[in-house]
Structure 1
Amino acid sequence: MSAGAGTWLVIDAGNTRVKWALADAGAPVGRWRLQGAMAQGMLDTLIDTWREAGLEPARVLAANVAGGAVRAAIEGALRVCAPDAAVEWFASVPSRAGIRNGYANPAQLGCDRFAAAIGARALAPGQDLVIANCGTATTVDAITADGAFIGGMILPGLRLMSGALARNTAQLPQIDADTALPATFADNTHDAILSGCLAAQAGAIERAIAAHGGAPCIISGGAAPLIAPVLTVPARHVDNIVMLGLHAALLDGGMDQTC
């Protein structure tokens, strides 16, 4: 059997990277056979990457917040590598996979945030939750124990925030998962910028948790390894919460016919 036969493919096309994961049809949430990620500038290698992996998924569910060009590149790769797959572009709808979308206009909720809420509920059903997804932007959202998405907040991500402060200096902080955490009261401009931005990110998350009655927090995204340690409240660090939500949506059955 090839690497793709009897499998489902989920794709999270974000503002910086495109991530994908392959799971056996019906496998539990997050039990991947293969995973991959690439920067948007490398999408011309996606066909070769998927061919080498032998992907032949029966179903594909993709969330895209990166615009039409990225979607077109992914569609082109799917036409070559998975021509027989049932492909759905995930969208925010009034209700799906146990989450009721509380946005005034449900379609305006970012599909990545909707998917992240589904993923969080799949990991921690029956609980009030705060979901912090810390990528290019940081989103902090709240869901109730009975599955209502009640709303959230959006702020610049850690890299964007620090870059805005340092743009006119010679000490632009280079932030990645290996960046050393600075002292709270830093003794140089580089670390002071990073310390302030980390405090702002953590403060937004902690404010949301307090506003949601001290609900448990799930934190995800590329900047989560930096932000989680400075939180003064517990948070469960989970990789790829959007892809987990897409997988949970597939397991829930059906396909959104509005996409």
Structure 2
Amino acid sequence: MLLVDAGNTFIKWARPAPGQTFHLESVHWKNFGAVRHHEMDVLKKAWHKLHEETPISHVLISNVAGKQLGDALSGLLETLDPQPISVKWFRSAPSLGGITNTYQDYRKLGCDRFASMIGARSLMPGKALVVVTAGTATTIDTLSPDGTFLGGMILPGLKLMSDSLAHNTALLPEIDQMIRHLPLFADNTSGAILSGCINAQAGAIERAVTTHRKRFSDVHCLLSGGAAPYIAPNLSIPCRIIDNLVLIGLHTSSTRQTY
């Protein structure tokens, strides 16, 4: 099986080993790759090579980047083999992978958020969780120990926040390079923007954890996404970085449901 996480910036893919299971201390894939949307030629070559080594028979895709990218992925997969490959599109469901979806309309919960929560629960079953994905947007979702989704937050991602200030404020430089450690109170404009953006992200996460702890005493925070390494050092709460929670959730759901 090939697992695909088509996000707003990157397309990430992975192939698990047969019978593979994941643990907090051991999240490794048999094959893994990531490309930006404009690198479809690179993706095509990678998938063709993968298919030549071990034919792909099933594909499970989480796509939040829209129909155009979905069509492009479908077209690429059709080039792999004259024989049709089973392609399934992951959707949010009322219940799957140990998660009970309580969104007002379960179908409108982003499939990437749903997959991330499934992945997080598979790694830490029976725990109250705050599940953070720090990508183009930052999503912060809460789970009870029994796997009930209790709601979440969505805010602009770290780079989106900083780019917005740099592009729309007179004479401010564009911020391309995020740094892992910086003073809370900066003595220059670029540093002040970075500090403001990182601490806005950290503050939202910390508030989510603090509020969640009012209901459950033992709350764990899992952080994923490209901005995770920049946000984590600035948190005042324990938080574990887990790469590719969406792919882990897709893998978990694929073992519990027939695709």
How much does 1:180 deviate?
Answer: 4.4
Secondary structure of 1:133's aligned partner: strand
| Aligned AA (2:173) | Q
1:124-143 matched pairs, under 5 angstroms: 124-143=124-143
**TM-score of the two chains, using structure 2 as the length reference:** 0.91
Does the aligned pair in 1 maintain the 2:9–2:136 contact within 8 Å?
yes
Q: Count how many residue pairs are aligned between Structure 1 and Structure 2.
A: 246
Partner Cα distance (1:80, 1:11) in 2: 16
Q: Deviations over 1:192-248 (max 9, x none)?
A: 100011110000001110111161100000000000010000001000111111011
Partner of 2:29: 32
Report the Cα offset of residue 253 of structure 1.
2.8
For residue 79 of structure 2, give the secondary structure of its aligned residue in structure 1.
Answer: helix
SS at 2:103 equivalent: coil
Q: Using the alignment, how far apart are the partners of 1:75 and 1:197 within structure 2?
A: 37
Of 230, 251, 254, the residue aligned with 2:258 is 254
Q: 1:173 maps to what in 2?
A: 175
Following superposition, the deviation at residue 182 of structure 1 comes to 1.8
Corresponding letter in the other structure for 1:20: W
Where does residue 197 of structure 1 map in the other structure?
197
- Of stretches 121-130 and 26-35 in structure 1, the one that deviates more from structure 2 is 26-35
The change in CA–CA distance for 1:180 and 1:127 in structure 2 (over 3 A counts) is: closer
One-letter code of the match for 1:157? Answer: G
Task: Determine if contact 1:26/1:251 at 8 Å carries over to the other structure.
Answer: no
Indicate the RMSD between aligned Cα atoms, in angstroms.
1.4
Partner SS state of residue 175, structure 1: coil
> Does the 8 Å CA contact 2:4/2:14 hold for their aligned counterparts?
yes
Q: Which moved more, 1:80-89 or 1:182-191?
A: 80-89
Letter in 2 for 1:37: A
Which of 14, 25, 50 aligns to 1:21? It is: 14
Partner of 2:38: 41
| Identical-residue share of aligned pairs (%) | 46
5+ residue gaps, structure 1: 1-7
1:44–1:73 contact (8 Å) kept in structure 2:
no
Correspondence 1:219 to 2:223? yes
Structure 1 residue 50 and structure 2 residue 43: aligned? no
- What is the correspondence of 1:55-94 to structure 2 with a 5 Å cutoff? 56-81=55-80, 83-94=83-94
1:163 alignment partner AA:
D
Deviates more, 1:20-29 or 1:200-209: 20-29
1:74 alignment partner AA: L
* 2:146 counterpart residue number: 146
Unaligned runs of 5+ in 2: none
Length-normalised TM-score, structure 1: 0.91
The one-letter amino acid of 2:176's match is Q
How many angstroms apart in 2 are the aligned matches of 1:76 and 1:48? 14
Q: State the distance in 1 between where 2:206 and 2:158 align.
A: 16
Query: How many angstroms does 1:163 deviate by?
Result: 1.0
Give the letter aligned to residue 139 of structure 2: T
1:74-117 deviation per Cα after TM superposition (whole angstroms, max 9, x unaligned): 11111122544322100011011111101010000000000000
Task: Return 101-110 or 85-94, whichever deviates more.
Answer: 85-94
